[in-house]
Structure 1
Amino acid sequence: MTNEELWQAALGEIELSISRQTILLGLKTRISLQGKVTRLLLVYL
């Protein structure tokens, strides 16, 4: 492998881990938002 190939592989790994963290964070945020909305709805019902 050349130096450039190593860099591209490393950057690919970094991008993958960042996107995975972003997806997880988005899911957690959505779940907590849904929980709050559900609680609000239950209070008003």
Structure 2
Amino acid sequence: MLDTIKLNAADDAAALSLARVMAEKHAVELWDGLRFIEHIEPTG
């Protein structure tokens, strides 16, 4: 893990949309506290 960024999103779908935008050069893991939501591979 290189960094953590807190996202403010209304629900999981909104958080996934934000996380997908962030996954250009590095993989992103989306968590809600201790609950794992999804791993997103880099898009670039």
TM-score between both structures, scaled by the size of structure 2: 0.31
Select the structure with the greater relative contact order (CA < 8 A; seq sep ≥ 6): 2
Higher strand share: 2
Q: Which has the larger radius of gyration?
A: 1
Higher helix share: 1
TM-score between both structures, scaled by the size of structure 1: 0.30
